[in-house]
Structures are given as structure tokens and as C-alpha cells.
Chain A
């Protein structure tokens, strides 16, 4: 599964530069959701370079990224892993068609664990 069209789309949407990654692992070292992500941030970057976008889209790991941007802040190469993960979420949602979440539904899905930032992020994604 090497889809270069999807890869280009991820790069275009995220504005990130996965090719700059030097595989130091700082993103995964700093990630607060590391244990919940079956694909860790550093793997995201590498899989985008290899064009393995469908696998990333199929994974639930995108849902666990908190958009805390610690990885973006600390990456020594300016790769911006969180923006890459965000781009994959956006592609995934665009492909799934209609609006997924309405403001009315929020009450039913919200729990105390969800960070506010993730909610704001969700609005951005779900409104097309």
C-alpha cells in the first residue's frame, strides 16, 4: 500500500515536512498518549514518508492524538508530527462523507477525560 497521491495530500494539508525526520524519536518520547496509540508519532512520520497512508487511516491511533503539539514544539527538525496526524484525520473524515458530529450530539459523547483542546479540534474537523 504505497499511495503517493494520498501522501502528497497529507503533506499539502499538514504543511509538514516528514522527509526532514532524522528518526530520533523525540516525538514519541514526549507524547502523553503514547501508550494509547497503536501507531506512535514517530511511526506516523515514517509511514507517511513510505506512502503507507491507508494503514494510518485505518488505525484508531489518530483518535488518540490530543493535539497537544508537544511533539511539534520539541521536534529538533521541524517535522510537525501532530500536524501530520491531523492531516490524516482530516483526509479520513473527508472521505467518510457527511458531517459526523453535530453540536447537539456532543453531550452524548463527552466525558471528563477529553481535553478541551481536542473538542475544539473536533469541531474544526467535523464541520466540513
Chain B
């Protein structure tokens, strides 16, 4: 029988306030195999760890149970500690008496009973543990970044600068993402294009970066260090290599009535188009939905005028298969649809617009050349009202429960820019709270009020309606406790932001977890903020949660540093907790083969000596390099031949028995 030591952590008062440590220690001592048990205030501290090491040596322990926090937190810490005194790390088990017990119980007696049960289960399991040796796997020294906005580009540039190759896959025909649509950026008011376009050029010209635009990642297989991605490069109908971006095709295209997505439908574009002047690649693309040649097999004018013969109507989607060591998700965001807020009249009044539409209206490269005019009749507005929190902090089905974080600052920016350029325009802002944490942010807001005369009104808007050629904004002013009616020419809605709709699909493809709002979840808010819980998957930008450009760039750099830290390794240590076949029990039924998500199971015809009967049988064989230890096969196996090392069926049943025994 193994000699087992049990250590019960107080975790300060985190555990000790709800669990009677002494009782747990006393109960553990009664378990078979336990030769010592003790409590300690902080097992993860150096003192706690040395206590464990000393006990291993003194009692010649060959199994250790730590009753403490979640194994996600410190299992690795204690396993490494075991290794220091020559104990196989897989002879250490964690009983999670914090997250699974003390944090969720109030009653100390109940908590103690549960903690004892959890400790007994871990002791029963460790009694059946066997030493395991970790394997090694190789690292493909190339990274994949999904999304070519500011987040993805910054991550790609940082990885490329460190000397590793990066592919950026962008769904749109150009990189640049949402930031390319923005006019100016807070709090410095430098123009977005002046910051973004040089970065786009850097990315395009970097020897280590390959931009794969107008493409989507279709599937990803494999695991950290050895991912295999399938990328669909959609047919552009224009040869990327020969097109010079001269724009002659656009000037000749007779199909001019498609909504210009880049200008959010505020103007129209042709069927063959370059998304915007600074697009990268600066190559035209044909919209197959509206192209007369592709829909009705007529026209073909662009093809006849193209001097470099770049247009190819027979072009097909192309499939690219590549291997990567790490994958960064940078899928970004989109503003929510505000149609459901019928009281604000977005769908009824042309002059009720969203903030992103205002960005285009104020952008020198936008549909009006930067001249702010009413969308309805092109006239000059004199009163503009902003409404904040449209869909943010809204727990009904119309909105999002979270704060979108960027709207206070961009609304403030819009208000200030309008007052600066057109001092004759009165600007009102309805707000619930003005949230401006950040360096120079609140000062920015105060400047809008004190220096630019923006009128901030504490309250919300109940109704926007048209009357005598004006929009009437009916709202509450909570400071004066009045219901007020403001005549406006334009109303700007600060719509909430949500993760790009592709995020959900990308997350499930990568088996990366997402939250209820479809933001990707970080492995730990403070300890691993740019990593997904899935090894080898990293997060950059708004796909992880709302953030502004400075924060996005900072996080993008952090994600890149984590990728570099991974790619710089030649070998990765793999978990030895993988599936194994009991050849005598295996019937070769293929259940495990069918269920394995990693393609780790194959079959071999093997000569088996079954109690003297020699015969050749079809036996399942696990590829240790591919197996991720998910355990699906061991559940699917009808004969019990499949087992997961470190979590054998016997061990799990022993845990269940220990919990049920009391």
C-alpha cells in the first residue's frame, strides 16, 4: 500500500472560515494508507511547499493529497514541488475544497462534511495512481491570426518582429477592420487613418507576414504546437497579383446600386470595387450578388477595360491548408442593430443615425467628404442630440447587459469635434453615467463640457419623433427633475458593441470557451488574461471583451508575447494522461474511433494471447501525439478496454465510492 500524506490548506480564511480544518485532518488520518496529515495556512507559499517536501522525505511518502483550491490554480505548483524531492508529479492529487466547497457553502458544519468527502475521494484516487512520464511534442514555428483589424495586425507585427512567420486571415477584402472606418481617435484626436494605415502597410510589406484576405478559416485540427488549419480563400474574381488597383474597372462598372458597406450604406458602390482608398491589398473585388456578368452573364465591361487582364469570372474558391504552432483570435466587434429601439425612431427617421455612421459622415474620406450634413436633405444641422447607452447596460432582449466601455469617450469625442468645427451647432448629450476611467480620459470629457460647451444632460430619452421638420427628443433631466423636449436636426445613437458574429463559430472550431455574450473567455482574468483556457489559443482585442484602441493594442502586444514564448520552444511537454487500450478486452468495434475528436485512434491487427488462445485481433491503438486525454473513448467503449491514464475507470469509481461511503 502507498504511503500517503494529506495537507489541508486554510487559504487564509477562504477555506478555514467555512471548513473545520482540524476535523478534515483528523478524518484524513483514518483513511487507509494515510501516514500523515496536517493543516497549513497557505500551502502554496514557499513555507507550505517546503512543509510538503520535508514530509515527503521524512515519511517516505509515495502519494500526496493537497486539499486546497481548484487544480486549475495550483495543481502544477504542487506537482512541480513533488518533482523537486523525487516524487513522480502524477502522484499528487488535489481535492478542491475551495471553489467546490468553502466558497459555495455558508454553513461550517456542512462545509466540513463536504470537505472531508472530497478529501477522502482524492485519497482513494491517489491510492490507485501510478507514476506517469510526460512526453514531448514538436512546435510548428508559425502563427495564425484570425482577424485583420488593429488587434490582429498589432499581434501579427509583434510576432513577426520576433522572427516568426505569421498568417493573418481576414474575412473582408481588405485588412483594417473597424478602425479603418473611424475618423479621429480619443483622447489625442489624431486621425485613425494616420495611425492605422502605416501599420497596414507595415504588415503587408513585412517579410514574415502573409495576409490572406477575403478568406475564412474553415476548420482547425490538432493541438498546441501542431494545429492544422483549412482556410477558404473566396473567389475575388480579380487576380490579386496582377491587379494594380488603378480603379478603371470601378469607373466603368454599370452596376452602381449596391450599398457601400464601408460607409455603412450611407452611399452606394459599384459591383466591382476597392473597399476604400487605402485598402490593403489595393485590389478590386467583385460582389457576386450584384455583378451583372456573374448573375445574368451579360456585361463583362470591367474585363474588357482592365489593362492587365486581372479579371477572371471563372475564378473558384481556393482551399489553403497550413500548419501552425499557435492561433490568435482577433475577430473584433460590430455595433448592435438598434432597430428594436422603436421609441428612438432609427428606422423611421433618416436623421437618427448611429455613432459609427456619424464617423463616416465626419470622415474626410467619407460619403460627404467630411462635411457634416443631415442625411435626409443634405442641409446643415444646428442642433444635434446624442443618446448614450443605446443597448448597453440593458438586460432586456433589446440590448446587452454589459457596459460597452467605449461609447462615453467616442460620444464625447464626437461632441467636441462638432463644436470645434461648427461652433454654431448646439450639442446635447443624454447620459446615464459618464464613464471615463483611463489616462487623460476624464480630462478629455471635462474639456468637452468646459471648453467646448457641450451640454450634458443626466437622464435618458423616452421618445424621438418628427414635428415641423425637426426631431423632438423627449427625455428626462434627472438633475432638475424635469421632462424636457429638445428640438434637434440630428440624433446620434451610441449603440452598444457586441462580438463579431463569427466569434461563436471560431470559438467552437477552436474548442475555446465563450461567455453568455459570445465574448471569448480568458483562462484567468488576472493571471492569464490573453490566453484561452484551450492551450495554444490566444485572445487579442474586443473578441475577449469591450476595449478601446489603446487597450486593444496593449492586449494585442501581450498576446503576441505569449505566442512568441510558445513558438520559441523547440519541444512542448505533453500530458501523459492519455487514453490506452487493454488489448485483451478490446473487440475492435470502432466506437472509440468514431467518437475521438482528435483523430487519435487507429487500428492494428495484432496477435493476442488471450489466456492461452492465440489469435489475430483488430485492436484500437492510441496515437500519443494526437490524444488530448478528453476521455470520450473510455466512456464510449462498451467493453471497458479504453482507459484514461491518470483518470482510470477504477480511480473514478474509487472516488465515487469514497464520497458515497460516509
Contacts and interface: CB of A to CB of B under 8 A. Distances in A.
A25 B478 contact: yes
B569 interface: no
B124 to A, nearest CB: 45
Contacts of A29: 459-463, 474-476, 483
Contacts of B396: 75-78
Given A20-B395, A22-B393, A23-B432, A30 B459 contact: no
Contacts of B481: 40, 43
A70 interface: yes
A42 interface: yes
B631 interface: no
Most buried by A among B389, B399, B459: B459
A31 B462 CA distance: 8
Determine the interface band of chain B, counting residues with CB < 8 A from chain A.
Answer: 20 to 34
Interface in B383-402: 389, 393-396, 398-399
Interface string B469-489: 000001111100101000000
Interface residues of A, number: 22
Contacts of B398: 76
Interface string A1-41: 00000000000000000001011111111110011000010
Given A24-B432, A25-B459, A26-B460, A76 B393 contact: yes
Given A24-B432, A28-B483, A76 B389 contact: yes
A128 interface: no
A30 B344 CA distance: 11
B80 interface: no
A85 B550 CA distance: 46
B443 interface: no
A30 B393 CA distance: 18
A31 B483 contact: yes
A74 interface: yes
A75 to B, nearest CB: 8
Given A31-B483, A40-B481, A74-B343, A26 B462 contact: yes
B399 A70 contact: no
A76 B399 contact: yes
Contact of A35 (B394, B399, B477, B483): B483
Interface of B: 343, 389, 393-396, 398-399, 432, 458-463, 474-478, 481, 483
Given A24-B460, A34-B483, A76-B394, 14 more contacts: A24-B389, A24-B432, A25-B458, A25-B460, A29-B460, A30-B343, A30-B462, A70-B462, A76-B389, A76-B393, A76-B396, A77-B395, A77-B396, A78-B395
Nearest first, the 8 A-B pairs at minimum CB distance are A30-B462, A29-B462, A76-B394, A25-B476, A26-B460, A29-B476, A25-B459, A34-B483
12 contacts: A24-B393, A24-B460, A25-B475, A25-B477, A30-B343, A30-B474, A31-B462, A34-B476, A40-B481, A75-B396, A76-B395, A76-B396
